[in-house]
Amino acid sequence: MLYTIFYGFSIGAILYFVSIGLSLTFGTMRVVNFAHTLTYSIGVYVLITSISWMGGNFIPAAMIAILAVIPLSYLVERFIIRRLYGESLDYTFIATFAVTLIGVDTIKIIWGVNPLPFSPPMSTYIDFWGMTFPLYRIIIFGIAIALFLGLEIFFRKTIVGKIVVAALDDKDGTRCLGISVDKYFSVMFMLGSALAALGGVLYAPISAVQPYMGLSILLLAFAVVIVGGMGNLRGTFISAFALGMVMALTARYWSQGAETMVFIVMAVVLCFRPLDA
């Protein structure tokens, strides 16, 4: 049972990485960013390539993967999403989905269609009160906590964070103060994409690597964002771990039903919550 809870935490951490970017882009720009799947999977594929350059050294390879995603997400933001500000949500949804389709095909061209093998960078287990936990999952969980605290500090203490929080609350009011909101949104978008890539990089070793891998995790991340409240950063954190726990507990008793359970929880939550998006 304790193992299950532990796995729930590590899944929750991954969900948090992916969904925080979605939540940010939705809260600030009112854009449902389907292209998030793309940054997620591109991050993983770049990692696979760069890890062979680095001679199997995981950490610098992961850095390269995350940094590689940033210019890509800038291009998506600049040429697709910025043109659709204030338009109907449907169009941004369709446009970013189209970007995903293009991206998935690009991945297929560069890296091929077949799933790629990829093993965890470390297979150390640590003993703890007579139980053994894989160290890798502990590290994932640690990074998630660090990231949450880091983002909290970022949004409270730094000027960029404060502007973004202000813009989340009232975009026009912030713009009236003479702040170029779009510039900060662009930064947020890149940050969100980089975090998605981080999630991908950390999750890839314990899941399968294939061109459509982003899509299923994106659906889960959307569920997290909807349950936690769109644009609500702390809500996203809580719901990510809650849904991660739901997945782990379901998987313990009924392994195929794990993902579906998340959507059922989402549907139940939606029944009792006002919808404003």
Partner 1 sequence: MDRSEKLIFPDPGDSPQKARTGLEVLIIGVGFLILMPLISIHRVTDFMIFCIFALSFDLLYGYMGRLSFGHLLYLGTGAYVYGFLIKFFQTDAFLAILCGVLAAGLLGMLLGPIMVRATGACFSLMALAFNHIGFFLVLSPLKHITNGEDGFGAHAKSLGFLDFNSKTVMFVLSLLALLLVFYILKRLTTSPYGILVRSIKEDENRVRFLGYNTYYYKWVTFVIASAIAGLAGTLTALNYKFVNPNVMDVHQNVGVVFACLIGGAGNLYGAIIGGVAYMMISNYLAIYIHRWEMFLGLSMLIIVFKFRKGIWGYIETLGGHFRRPKEIRPAAQKGA
The answer to whether residue 88 forms part of the interface with partner 1 (CB under 8 A) is yes
Using the rule CB under 8 A, give the single segment among 1-9, 140-148, 198-206, 217-225 that binds partner 1: 217-225
Instruction: Out of 99, 217, 246, 247, name the contact with partner 1 by CB under 8 A.
Output: 99
Q: Does the protein bind partner 1 through residue 266 (CB under 8 A)?
A: yes
Distances (CA, A) of 255 to 149, 207, 244: 32, 15, 14
Query: Is 127 near partner 1 (CB under 8 A)?
Result: no
Three-state secondary structure call for residue 107? helix
Out of 46, 66, 95, 248, the only residue in the binding site for partner 1 (CB under 8 A) is 95
Q: How many residues in the shown chain lie near partner 1 by CB under 8 A?
A: 41
Q: Which of 54, 179, 206, 215 binds partner 1 (CB under 8 A)?
A: 215
Judged by CB under 8 A, the residue of 14, 15, 32, 202 near partner 1 is 32
Q: How far is Cα 43 from Cα 130, in angstroms, rounded to an integer? A: 36
Beta-carbon contacts of residue 92 (< 8 Å; ≥ 6 apart): 31, 32, 33, 81, 84
Question: 256 vs 70, 252, 253, 260, 261, CA distance in Å?
Answer: 34, 10, 9, 8, 10
* Count of helix runs (H) and strand runs (E) in the chain: 11, 2
DSSP 8-state class, residue 31 = -
In angstroms, give the least distance from the CB of 215 to partner 1. 7
Q: DSSP label at 87?
A: S
CA–CA dist 119, 206 (Å, integer):
7
Least distance CB 117 / partner 1 (angstroms): 23
Q: Interface with partner 1 by CB under 8 A: which range of 67-75, 140-148, 164-172, 255-263?
A: 255-263
Give 152 or 259: the residue with its C-beta nearer to partner 1: 259
Residue ranges binding partner 1 (CB under 8 A): 26, 32, 80, 83-84, 88-91, 93-95, 97-102, 104-106, 108-109, 212, 215, 219, 222-223, 226, 256-257, 259-260, 263-264, 266-267, 270-271, 275, 277
